[in-house]
């Protein structure tokens, strides 16, 4: 989540973690924040092309992070929330 915060998306990430509505993120923002290497790796895990991977992450990551933070905060000892979220996404889309 720190990558998103460093990329100027603190409010967006905060909405995912918080208890209100989840702010959207675009596929382009996902590409910018994660970088082409990580998006390509995700695409390989998902079995799709990199653009589709960015689209899928943009569509589902807010919901996954929201689910991983049911009390509106990152629980102590939860580790890297982004990694957990991306891991959950790869499980959803693995063929």
Cα separation of 52 and 6, whole Å?
Answer: 24
The ranges assigned to domains in the chain are 2-93
Q: What is the pTM of this model?
A: 0.77
**Structure confidence at residue 24 as a pLDDT band (50, 70, 90):** very high
- Quick check: 89 and 82 in contact, CB under 8 A? no
CA atoms within 13 Å, Cβ hemisphere of 4? 25
In the CATH scheme, what architecture does the domain 2-93 have? Orthogonal Bundle (1.10)
**Structure confidence at residue 76 as a pLDDT band (50, 70, 90):** low
pLDDT of 37 over the 90 cut: yes
**Structure confidence at residue 79 as a pLDDT band (50, 70, 90):** low
What mean pLDDT do residues 4-29 have? 91
Dihedral (Cα; 77, 7, 29, 34), 10-degree rounding: -60
């Amino acid at each position: 989540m720190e990558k998103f915060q460093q990329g100027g998306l603190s409010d967006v990430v905060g909405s995912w973690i918080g208890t209100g509505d989840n702010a959207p993120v675009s596929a382009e923002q996902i590409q910018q924040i994660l970088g082409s290497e990580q998006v390509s790796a995700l695409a390989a895990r998902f079995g799709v092309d990199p653009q589709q991977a960015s689209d899928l992450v943009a569509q589902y990551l807010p919901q996954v992070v929201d689910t991983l933070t049911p009390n509106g905060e990152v629980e102590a000892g939860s580790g890297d929330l982004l990694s957990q979220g991306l891991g959950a996404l790869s499980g959803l889309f693995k063929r």
